[in-house]
Copies of this chain bind each other. A is one copy, B any other.
């Protein structure tokens, strides 16, 4: 087994509730402790809509309704919320042109692009291996129905 996870493991006990002395630990995040702010950021990028938006924006700047058309099934409300979160976290840049039919453009920041590439790699891996997964699930289902 790999041992690369030991580093992040040591941060587990960080991120407690004491306000004064542990401020730097809090700043660093520490995904493993409960009630940690970095968990929120993580949820923003790994939520389904967050992921899909990041992947769309990896192809270049888009307008609101362009994203909406590409990401099938997202409601306007959810898309607006997702984009606001990603903007607040510094992953996307929002540029408003004060013209009469509103025109807003969304672009990835440097951090957003790096994040999106990781997310994209993960999405691609799952897409690639989905046939195996589906086959496994069918096999398990068949086995379950055979055993009852």
Contact = CB atoms under 8 A, between A and B. Distances in A.
A43 B48 contact: yes
A118 B125 contact: yes
A31 B2 contact: no
A72 interface: yes
Contact of A134 (B34, B35, B37, B73): B37
Which of A71, A115, A134 counts the most B-chain CB atoms under 10 A from its CB? A134
Interface string A106-122: 00100101110111111
Interface string A86-130: 001110000000000000000010010111011111111111011
Copies of the chain in the assembly: 2
A5 B72 contact: no
A142 interface: no
Interface string A26-56: 0111111111011101110111100110011
Given A8-B124, A32-B71, 8 more contacts: A9-B59, A29-B126, A41-B133, A42-B51, A46-B46, A46-B48, A90-B132, A115-B122
